[in-house]
Every structure is written in structure tokens, then in C-alpha cells.
Structure 1
Amino acid sequence: MAQVWKCSGLRWPAGGGPVLEWDGGRRSALPRGKRVAFAVPEGGVRRCVGARGHACAVRAVVPGRSTGARCEECARLDRAHSVAADTLADDPRPYRVYLAWFGPGLVKVGITAAERGPARLLEQGAVCFSWLGTGPLMAARRTEELLRAALRVPDRIPYAEKRAVRSALPATEAERAAEVRELHARAVALPGWPESLRPAPCDVVDHARAFGIEAALEAFGEVVELVPGGSVGGELVAAAGPDLHLAVGGRGVVVLDTRLMTGWELLPSEPAAAGCALPVREFRREPDGLF
């Protein structure tokens, strides 16, 4: 029987390109142009990946469309120990507040541990971003809430919305940075910032080249789940956040959210294999005119 692999996610190491990580510590670098091909065994089952380094006690079966790949109990445990859950008020590490831009009109505010650098922004698929300030966790949280209310920007943007605008991004870094610069200026002018949070000057970092989305990137759709007996094979043309953009032959480029790969046992396919035999949701195309 062929060796099966279990994916533990897509990572963006500091100073390097994206890599797929596998159970056991193995890594697969993902340079532009690499062939990505794998299959789900017939009769395969997707099982919970556990939480916080612990295996799921009951090896629960989880839905194919879940991006978390966790059962209800493991999801609760994982969230209870995350910064996003607002349960770590005594975390002594410094945190940074940021503005992240994903496309025209898609800007969010967020926080990340200062020690992580820009990793969180790469993981989210932020096309460009700027830091807003650094300080203790609770000060960063208060600043995040202040900016959400005053600037009317969210702290979350669904990945589906991020994918939908990647084919229509402005062509230059200056155009992509404009919205972040404008919001940064408004943000630092607001009263009510916590005294312990040190504001940062606007310095927009652009990830379009790192992602491979400098040019218009058309895709016909996105994989919605892996299924037993399904497969995908294609050439990597871009990677943004958890998403791989794969050229799969005659139809063009399909987007694969690597979070859908976790929890499955996967088989390597022939490197030359091209095509997508997985359920795909096609992107809506706006009509060119009235007729």
C-alpha cells in the first residue's frame, strides 16, 4: 500500500516562501511553478486534528467543508486558549495593532504578538499592511476596538471575499497602499488611544510579489471540500494566506484552501497529473453589458 501523508497546514516561515507541513515534521517547500498533486484514498474519512498539540480523544469524524477540521469539543478547547477568544488578559508579551488590506474596500484592523512579526499578515493573505502601534495586550485590544468603532472597519473578513477580489487588484504598490495610508492617518489622529500603546508611523508593506499576485490572477473557482476518491494536480501559480492557486489544465486556475486538506490521509499523485476531480464552486462572473 502506498504511503499516506497527513497535512498539518500551510505555513509562512520568516524570510522564506510558503511551505506545507506534514505530520512527523516533514515540510514541502512551495516555490512558484511547483507541481502539486495528491489524491484522497477511496473510502477515506476525515478525522478531527485535535487541539493545542493533543490528539482528539475520540478521533471524531469531521465535515469535509470545515476549515478548522476539529470536532466541537476540540474546537472549544483550541479557542479557549487563543488570543482571539479574549481569555488571555495576563499575557505579558507585547502586541502590535495593524491595518491589513486585501483589496479595494476590504480593510481590517487586528492584533498579533510582536514576536511573530508579519507572519500573521501572510497567513491571512493580506496584500499589504501597516503597523499602527505596539503595547501590552489589553492596550492593543482597546485600540483595536476604538478603531473598529471610529473607522468602521471590521476585525474579520471572510476568505471567500478575499479570493473574489484577487483578480482585480490595482496594478501598482502605490495604488494598493493608498487606502491603508488614508486610514492610518485617520487612526493616529483619533483621541482616546491607551497611553501604554506606542503609535507606529505608516510604513506599508506589500505582499503581492511574495504571493505571486502582482499581475491579474483569474481563477474559475474554488475547491469547497475534499472527498474520498477525489484528486487535484496542477502547477502552483500563486499562494496567498492558506490558498494555493493551481493551474489545472484546460479550465485554468482553481483555488485550493489548504485548511481543507487537514484531517485527511492523502496519497501522492503522479507529478504530471493535471486536473481537478474535487467539488468546485465557480466564481460568479459579472455580465459585460445589458445584452
Structure 2
Amino acid sequence: MAQGWKCSGLSWSADGPVLRWEGGRRSALTWGKRVAFGVAEGGVRTCVGARGHACPARTAVSGRTTGARCEECARLDRAHSVAADTLADDPRPYRVYLAWFGPGMVKVGITAHERGSARLLEQGAVCFSWLGTGPLMAARRTEELLRAALSVPDRIPYGAKRAVRSVLPVSAGQRAGELAELHARAGALGGWPDSLERAPYEPVDHVEVFGLAGLPTAVGEVSELVAGGSVGGRLLAAAGPDLHLETDSGGVVVLDTRLMTGWELVPADGAEITVPVREFKEAPGIQDGLF
């Protein structure tokens, strides 16, 4: 019987995307590499726990959720996150940024300075620019100020991001145009906290990092993994948690790697996609240890 592995999710290193596994194993992902795995027969997806601790009840969770946590572990995880505003005494410096995912898709956010651009890679930001650096609460106040004044959200659904990746403007200048305008408008606003050091407009483009240049339009996305099912395809691109896989039939299907967590996965060389796939009703357009 093939050895099973538990996936801990996708992370981004200086060399590109990496799948992490329980026990510390890491699988580097490169363009053209075949990604293939099966879900153990009779398997059940179980809660991944919170803050590095296993779920004490090993609660079964839905195959469709990207969080892979039971209600209690999800509550504990969020209670210790920056997004929950419960870490007001965090002494680390934070950065405020503007991130662009496609025309009409710009968000404002914050990330710990020590993390560099990792958060932007994890979110699948096509390009971004820093706005400033300062204490957590100053960064949070700046984020709220810009969100209200510029009418930009602090969150964009992953479904909207992946829908436009194959139809992005060709040049980096075109991609950064909307970002440049908003950065200038942000700089002209009053009310910035004095403790936040502003940053000049310096766009960073991730199209090459993600492998998005010339990316074919996806025909659908994996909606969930199921016991006994399989996934297989040639990796064309990766952005945020998403893998764009070219299947044996020639169509491109997107796999959100967050759906892999909580399952016992096994090697499956030559596997095809037999798990449920949600087909896109029309071509997406511009919108407001196994390998």
C-alpha cells in the first residue's frame, strides 16, 4: 500500500512555489512539472488544527472549504491573527501596501515588515507597491483611511483573481497603471499617522514569477477533493494558492492547494482529474512528498 502524506499547503520561496508536507518535507514546483496525486480510498478530511497544534477532536470537515478547520480551531486561529485586531501590542513594524490583481481589482492591506513580499505572493498579487512602514496600529489606521478614501477593499475573492489571469494587460506598465494612480491619490490624502514612514511608488510585477505570460484560459476549477479521487496535470503557472494544470485532454484546470489540506494523499503517477470540477460557464473576462 502506498505511503500517505498530509499536505500543509503552498508557500513561496525565493526560487518559486513549494508544497509543504507534515514532517517537514518540501516539494519544489517548476513549470512543466507533472503534478499527480490521489486521495486515499475511504479517507476522511480532518481538521488541520490551529496555531501549530493538532485538532484534539480530529473533527471531519467539508471537502469544499479552503480553511480545513472545525469551528473551534477556526476561532482559535483567527483570534491570534492580525486581521482580527487582537494584537494591538505587537511591537514589530508593519508595511501598508496596494496590490493589483487585474483591471478594477486593487486592494489595500498590511503585512509584517519581516515577511517581505511573501504575503503578496501568497495572495496572488500580479503587481504591488508599498505605501509606508510603521507600528501595527498606525499601519491599521492607514489601511482604514485609504480603504474609505480610495474606495478600495481590503479583500478580493480568489475566484475573481483567478478569473482574469489569462487576460491581463501584456506590458508591466499597463498592469501598473491603475496602481500608480491610486498610489498618487493615497499620497495626496491628509490624515496619515505621523508614525508611519511613507514609501515612494516602486511597482513590483509578479507575472514572470507566477508564470502568467501567455497563460491559456482555464476551463474550470477543482471544487473539492473526494476519497478515491485523483488529480493530474502539467503545471503551467502558480499564483497565490492556485496551480494552473494542463490536463491530458488539453484543457487547463485550476487547483486551489488549500483544498489538499486535511486529506491523506498518495502517489498516483499518470493520474487524471477524477475529482469534481466546476466548469466555467463562459471564458473568464475582466471583472469590477508526492512529486
Q: TM-score, normalised by structure 1?
A: 0.96
Aligned length: 284
Aligned residue in 1 for 2:11 = 11
Aligned residue in 1 for 2:268 = 269
CA RMSD of aligned residues (A): 1.1
Distance, in Å, in 2 between the alignment partners of 1:168 and 1:285 is 14
- How do 1:112-261 and structure 2 match up within 5 A? 112-261=111-260
Distance, in Å, in 1 between the alignment partners of 2:87 and 2:281 is 41
Cα distance, 1:263 vs. partner? 0.1
Aligned residue in 2 for 1:91 = 90
SS at match of 2:164: helix
* CA displacement 1:190-239 (0-9 Å, x = unmatched): 00000000110000000000000022431100001000111011110000
SS at match of 1:132: strand
Change (3 A) 1:32 1:105: same
Aligned residue in 1 for 2:78 = 79
- How do 1:99-110 and structure 2 match up within 5 A? 99-110=98-109
Cα distance, 1:248 vs. partner? 0.9
* CA displacement 1:232-270 (0-9 Å, x = unmatched): 111100000000001111141100000000000001111
Distance, in Å, in 1 between the alignment partners of 2:187 and 2:199 is 9
* CA displacement 1:23-65 (0-9 Å, x = unmatched): 0000000011111000012211000000001100100000001
Cα distance, 1:133 vs. partner? 0.3
Distance, in Å, in 1 between the alignment partners of 2:140 and 2:194 is 13
Distance, in Å, in 1 between the alignment partners of 2:175 and 2:210 is 14
Aligned residue in 1 for 2:275 = 278
Q: TM-score, normalised by structure 2?
A: 0.96
User: Which AA in structure 2 matches 1:54?
Assistant: H
SS at match of 2:264: coil
Unaligned runs of 5+ in 1: none
Cα distance, 1:84 vs. partner? 0.7
Q: Retained in 2: the 8 A contact 1:96–1:133?
A: yes
SS at match of 1:112: strand
User: Which AA in structure 2 matches 1:278?
Assistant: V
SS at match of 2:234: strand
SS at match of 1:38: strand
User: Which AA in structure 2 matches 1:47?
Assistant: T
